[in-house]
């Protein structure tokens, strides 16, 4: 039975990266950072593993998309599987809205009219089945005993118990527009919200035993932004220039009391 809540141990170093969207080179760089930290390090990707730029965009690359890259989603899926095989139980990917579109979530349309259909055509029948099975096992939230709680989007979610995150079906929303889906309980805000009220996040963190929420989903040109006392939105890859890309590195045995405890150059590090 899959669990939607991933609980990390209180030992080793945790590396967190956001929104790769088919950028294999950025994954490899992040993975090198992770492997350099030894055999009790953990790597958490906060979702949106797949769906990069189409060929037309690659040819006429707009500045706002940062450093040019090609969509290598199929190879990136393989690279994640290989990284998980090489470090059992230490490499994780959370569910993002782009990943969820392959399981019945709203169809994403950043670079194609139907991004899941486009990727599935490239993956073929068997590759699609493998990818869907992999993605269906992605947790919604990761909790580290050091206080850091990870999700794909801003966790603007009223939660009474952690158990409410369990057993949420992936495919019960076919045909939902994004506007409708984002108001669905649990998945809507966790996969799509670009911002969340301080008091809602404070209560979400309290229920999960955490102190600071780390997520991506939105593009932050500067690499990260603190929102209120307990939220940090991080951009590791998508939409950024290489020199601005940021990942998070924290000690799992440490304690991070709030967003300010994640310091630029220390816990918030440049990818390149």
Question: What residues make contact with Mn ion under the rule CB under 5 A?
Answer: 48, 96-97, 217
Nearer to Mn ion, 192 or 256 (CB): 192
Nearer to Mn ion, 20 or 146 (CB): 20
In the complex, least distance from residue 192 CB atom to Mn ion, rounded to whole angstroms: 7
In the complex, least distance from residue 217 CB atom to Mn ion, rounded to whole angstroms: 4
Nearer to Mn ion, 149 or 153 (CB): 153
Is the Cα dihedral 103, 105, 111, 114 positive or negative?
Answer: positive
Nearer to Mn ion, 96 or 139 (CB): 96
DSSP-assigned states of every residue in the chain: ---SEEE--SSSEEEEE---TT-HHHHHHHHHHHHTT-TT-EEEE-S--S----HHHHHT--GGG-S-----HHHHHHHHHHHHHHSTTTEEE---HHHHTTTTSPPP-SSSTTHHHHHHHHHHHHHHHHHHHHHHT--SEEE-TTSEEEESS------S-GGGGTT--SSTTTT--HHHHTTSTTHHHHHH-S---HHHHHHHHHHHT-SEEEE-SS--TTSEEEETTTEEEE-SSTTS-GGG-EEEEEETTS---SGGGS-BTTTEEE--
In the complex, least distance from residue 138 CB atom to Mn ion, rounded to whole angstroms: 13
In the complex, least distance from residue 96 CB atom to Mn ion, rounded to whole angstroms: 5
Nearer to Mn ion, 115 or 267 (CB): 115
In the complex, least distance from residue 157 CB atom to Mn ion, rounded to whole angstroms: 16
In the complex, least distance from residue 254 CB atom to Mn ion, rounded to whole angstroms: 28
| Closest residue to bound Mn ion by CB | 217
Nearer to Mn ion, 14 or 193 (CB): 193
């Amino acid at each position: 039975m899959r669990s939607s809540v991933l609980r990390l141990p209180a030992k080793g170093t945790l590396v967190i990266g956001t929104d790769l969207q088919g950028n294999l080179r950025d994954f490899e760089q992040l993975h090198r950072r992770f492997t350099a930290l030894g055999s009790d390090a953990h790597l958490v990707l906060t979702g949106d593993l797949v769906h990069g730029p189409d060929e037309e965009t690659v040819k006429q690359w707009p500045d706002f998309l940062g450093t040019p890259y090609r969509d290598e989603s199929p190879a990136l899926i393989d690279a994640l599987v290989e990284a998980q095989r090489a470090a059992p139980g230490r490499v994780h990917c959370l569910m993002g809205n782009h990943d969820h579109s392959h399981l019945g979530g709203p169809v994403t349309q950043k670079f194609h009219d139907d991004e899941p259909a486009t990727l599935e055509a490239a993956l073929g029948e068997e590759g699609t089945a493998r990818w869907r099975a992999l993605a269906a096992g992605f947790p919604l939230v990761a909790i580290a005993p050091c206080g850091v709680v990870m999700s794909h989007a801003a966790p603007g979610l009223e939660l009474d118990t952690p158990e409410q995150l369990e057993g949420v079906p992936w495919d019960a929303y076919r045909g939902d527009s994004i506007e409708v889906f984002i108001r669905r309980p649990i998945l809507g805000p966790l996969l799509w919200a670009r911002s969340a009220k301080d008091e809602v996040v404070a209560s979400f963190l309290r229920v999960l035993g955490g102190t600071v929420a780390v997520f991506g989903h939105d593009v932050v040109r500067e690499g990260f932004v603190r929102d209120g006392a307990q939220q940090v939105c991080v951009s590791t890859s998508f939409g950024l220039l290489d020199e601005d890309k940021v990942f998070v590195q924290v000690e799992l045995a440490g304690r991070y009391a709030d967003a300010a405890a994640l310091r630029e150059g220390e816990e918030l590090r440049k990818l390149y």
